[in-house]
């Protein structure tokens, strides 16, 4: 009798263990969050998950919907509390799943869209993620119409790249500051300065908090026929001591400094943070083709990039201390446009508590933007691109020797320029001119 009871007890115990194991296996994943990142013509949805998702999906028409089934996942997250400013996504909701252990998520869309769906492994500070990229193929996002570089009197195009964004926060400071917010703040101030300068035009790679792949940023510069690509960043390191600004250019080899190697590693990390589908889909042939393009047409761009970097460092040192007093080189995807001079400006170390505080100060951001602008202006005044308005001004630079009876107002009227412009071109503090004085006459 005792043996029989013991057997019954063992059977019950084994059944309980199997049931417990079965329950755990069926509910091994959970949705821990949802983030929606809209940009002018795309939207990214990121589902934060407790484990690697086993998922499938399909689309429905009239109305347009994207339906995603995630296995072994309960209906535990409230989508109604998620901010959604996207013009492409109307709503995210649940529907009846194909089996009791799964969850079905329905994304209601405003129209028919291109879709790219992929899972990403944990990459600090995030865990497992399911990423959905939606693209509007008929986007009417504003495009800047530019003339060819050979056209006379064109603007000098400066593409301003605010580093990181959206899913990729960049480096995070001791007080919780995100690099992506600092870089956008400085980039917007630089854009405003360039907008005010006659003969120059800015183009922003991003205008809000959304992710753009480092490989696509130089592609945007090429699309807009840029004369210069400037990527704004805020440095970080493993210890809080390093401080100061630096300017980086592309190296055809791996970086030979500890900081350069750190920068290369963190850029790769940022691509994974942003959900870089390009990395997942990359092939050896694509890499070989990219290298061939670089080998053929990088010489001029690298030389110009180095010259601009030296000019910029002269102006940055007036605002902040320098971490490096000469341009640095590293292998960075954001700088690999073969036909466009490109630089990366590290405005300071966000990992340094004092510099983190400065980088969050509006006045300091303005000073940094001004120094970057002054460096660009110095370079292009000395070496304006062919066909630009600045090149025409340089070629048409006129002089006039003051004769008896001539005044500044008379000369301004004769040459059809403002008195203030004439004074500025000749560094004059008064309206008085001397007989025999040689004046530079700026073009109108």
Instruction: Kindly state the tokens that stand for 106.
Output: 């329905």
Give the Cα separation of 359 and 88 in Å (integer): 34
Residues 6+ apart with CB under 8 A from 36: 43, 44, 45, 46, 82, 83, 84, 85, 86, 89, 92
Give the Cα separation of 320 and 8 in Å (integer): 79
- Best CA proximity match to 48, nearest among 139, 137, 155, 127: 127
254-303 pLDDT, tens digit each: 545 555 565 666 666 666 667 655 544 444 444 444 444 444 456 667 78
β pairing state of 31-38 and 42-49: antiparallel
76-93 pLDDT, tens digit each: 999 999 999 999 999 999
β pairing state of 31-38 and 55-60: unpaired
At residue 425, the pLDDT reads: 86
Phi, then psi, of 94 in degrees rounded to 5: -95, 160
The burial class, CB within 10 Å (0-12 / 13-18 / 19+), for 36 is buried
Query: C-alpha distances in angstroms, 179 versus 48, 235, 290?
Result: 21, 8, 29
β pairing state of 65-70 and 89-95: unpaired
Task: Report all structural domains of the chain as residue ranges with CATH numbers, in order of start.
Answer: 26-135 (2.60.40.3500), 156-382 (3.40.630.40), 397-441 (3.10.350.10)
At residue 226, the pLDDT reads: 95
Give the Cα separation of 326 and 343 in Å (integer): 13
pTM exceeding 0.85: no
At residue 337, the pLDDT reads: 72
Helix orientation angle between 362-382 and 299-316, rounded to the nearest 10 degrees: 130
Cβ neighbour number for residue 270 with a 10 Å cutoff: 27
Q: For the chain, what is the total number of helices (H) and then of strands (E)?
A: 12, 16
Cβ neighbour number for residue 397 with a 10 Å cutoff: 12
Q: What is the DSSP letter of 335?
A: G
Q: Are 43 and 85 in contact (CB under 8 A)?
A: no
Instruction: Kindly state the tokens that stand for 151.
Output: 């056209």
Instruction: Kindly state the tokens that stand for 320.
Output: 């902040």
Instruction: Kindly state the tokens that stand for 198.
Output: 């006659």
Cis omega (within 30 of 0) for bond into 139: no
Give the Cα separation of 236 and 220 in Å (integer): 26
Which residues in the chain land under pLDDT 50? 1-2, 4, 20-26, 141-150, 255, 279-296
At residue 25, the pLDDT reads: 44
At residue 283, the pLDDT reads: 42
């Amino acid at each position: 009798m005792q043996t029989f009871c013991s057997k019954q007890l063992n059977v019950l115990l084994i059944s309980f263990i199997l049931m417990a194991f079965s329950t755990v296996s069926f509910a091994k994943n959970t949705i821990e969050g949802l983030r929606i990142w809209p940009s002018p013509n795309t939207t990214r949805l990121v589902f934060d998950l407790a484990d690697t998702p086993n998922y499938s999906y399909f689309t429905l028409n009239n109305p347009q919907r994207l339906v995603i089934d995630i296995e072994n996942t309960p209906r535990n997250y409230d989508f109604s509390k998620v901010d959604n400013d996207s013009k492409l996504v109307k709503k995210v909701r649940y529907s009846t799943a194909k089996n009791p252990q799964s969850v079905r998520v329905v994304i209601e869309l405003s129209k028919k869209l291109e879709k790219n769906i992929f899972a990403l492994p944990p990459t600090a500070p995030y865990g497992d993620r399911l990423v959905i990229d939606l693209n509007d193929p008929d986007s009417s996002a504003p495009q800047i119409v530019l003339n060819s570089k050979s056209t006379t009197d064109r603007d000098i195009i400066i593409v301003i790249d605010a580093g990181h964004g959206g899913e990729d926060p960049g480096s995070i400071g001791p007080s919780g500051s995100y690099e992506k917010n600092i870089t956008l703040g400085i980039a917007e101030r630089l854009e405003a300065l360039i907008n005010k300068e006659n003969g120059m035009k800015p183009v922003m790679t991003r205008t809000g908090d959304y992710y753009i792949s480092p490989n696509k940023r130089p592609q945007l510069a090429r699309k807009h026929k840029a004369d210069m690509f400037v990527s704004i960043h805020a440095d970080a390191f493993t210890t809080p001591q390093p401080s100061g600004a630096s300017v980086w250019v592309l190296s055809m080899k791996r970086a030979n400094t500890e900081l350069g190697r750190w920068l290369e590693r963190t850029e790769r990390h940022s691509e994974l943070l942003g959900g870089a589908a390009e990395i997942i889909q990359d092939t050896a042939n694509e890499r070989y083709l990219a290298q061939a393009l670089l080998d053929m047409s990088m010489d001029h761009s690298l030389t110009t990039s180095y010259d601009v970097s030296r000019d910029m460092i002269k102006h940055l040192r007036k605002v902040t201390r320098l971490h490096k007093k000469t341009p640095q080189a590293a292998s960075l995807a954001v700088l690999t446009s073969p036909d466009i001079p490109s630089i990366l400006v590290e405005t300071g170390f966000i990992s340094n508590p004092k510099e983190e505080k400065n980088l969050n100060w509006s006045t300091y951001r303005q000073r940094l933007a001004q120094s970057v602008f002054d460096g660009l202006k110095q370079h292009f005044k000395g070496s304006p691109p062919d066909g630009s308005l600045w090149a025409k001004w340089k070629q048409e630079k006129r002089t006039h020797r003051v004769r008896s009876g001539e005044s500044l107002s008379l000369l301004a009227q004769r040459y059809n320029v403002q008195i203030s412009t004439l004074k500025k071109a000749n560094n004059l503090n008064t309206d008085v001119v001397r007989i025999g004085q040689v004046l530079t006459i700026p073009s109108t």
